[in-house]
Amino acid sequence: MKFITVKSYDELSKKAANIIAAQVILKPCSVLGLATGSTPLGTYKKLAEYNKAGDVDFADVTSVNLDEYQGLKGDNDQSYRYFMDNNLFKNINIDINKTFVPDGCAVDLAKEGQRYDELIKNLGGIDLQLLGIGLDGHIGFNEPDEVFTKETHEVELDPSTIEANARFFASKDEVPKKAITMGMMSIMQAKKILLIANGKNKKDIVEKSFFGPITPQIPASILQLHPDVTVVFSEE
């Protein structure tokens, strides 16, 4: 594991964007696993700048996102599809038809999970998976549990996650109680993993995840078993 500590959020964003840019430059048809949340916003902004400057070309890239809230359509401004369209896809030259987010409105989320895993498999897996981390150690929406779940699956959000994500909604009651998330199989089979964490409040969970025991109670701790993980952490 490479553990990079930086001084500021801006530095974190630059580092992460450079790692993603390097991936796309070396392999223009990369499959990028992408994440939502406030942490990757700076990274996405930098990638858009690089693309605008002609330094990175996303024309041949495919993206697969980690997760989506249940019941939110892509045009809902709280959906993760909306987040990705507006914070990244519209600002780079990626082909929107090659950007995938699980469908949180699928009637049968179990079936949607199977479809999503099949899609990732048919793409040849993920070349680089970008991850944030929740305060309870969740990655994607893989919440603390008795077991690590392999497949893309429906989850009940942890009360602490609902609390943490309420800041994006008008009220806590509006935060969906369920979501669909990529499971540990697609994440762990990614060739490279880049996890970004920002802020003093993430320090404890980052320490537990990468330097403590591997347990499904701290979902990110499974990443200790991955052969190519880079963590970029800023205490700002």
Residues involved in catalysis:
67, 136, 138, 143
Report the interface residues with ligand GLP, using CB under 6 A. Answer: 35-39, 66-67, 132-134, 140-141, 161, 165
Smaller CB distance to ligand GLP: residue 141 or 233? Answer: 141
E-assigned strand segments in the chain: 2-6, 31-34, 62-65, 67-69, 99-100, 128-131, 153-156, 178-181, 192-198, 229-234
The nearest distance, CB 23 to ligand GLP, in angstroms, is: 19
The nearest distance, CB 54 to ligand GLP, in angstroms, is: 29
Do residues 66 and 35 make contact, with C-beta atoms less than 8 angstroms apart?
yes
178: CB partners within 8 A, 6+ apart:
69, 70, 71, 154, 155, 156, 157
Task: Report how far Cα 187 is from the mean position of its chain's Cα atoms.
Answer: 10
Smaller CB distance to ligand GLP: residue 24 or 37? Answer: 37
The nearest distance, CB 50 to ligand GLP, in angstroms, is: 21
Smaller CB distance to ligand GLP: residue 36 or 186? Answer: 36
Smaller CB distance to ligand GLP: residue 134 or 183? Answer: 134
The nearest distance, CB 84 to ligand GLP, in angstroms, is: 12
* CA distances for 96 relative to 15, 61, 106, 118, angstroms: 25, 10, 20, 19
Smaller CB distance to ligand GLP: residue 113 or 140? Answer: 140
Please report, in angstroms and rounded to a whole number, the separation of the first and last CA atoms in the chain: 22
* CA distances for 150 relative to 3, 117, 134, 187, 221, angstroms: 26, 10, 19, 9, 15
The nearest distance, CB 196 to ligand GLP, in angstroms, is: 8
Closest to 64 in 3D by CA, of 145, 152, 155: 152
Q: Could you count the other beta carbons within 10 Å of the beta carbon of residue 30?
A: 21
Sequence-ordered alpha helix ranges (H) in 27-129: 41-52, 80-87, 109-122
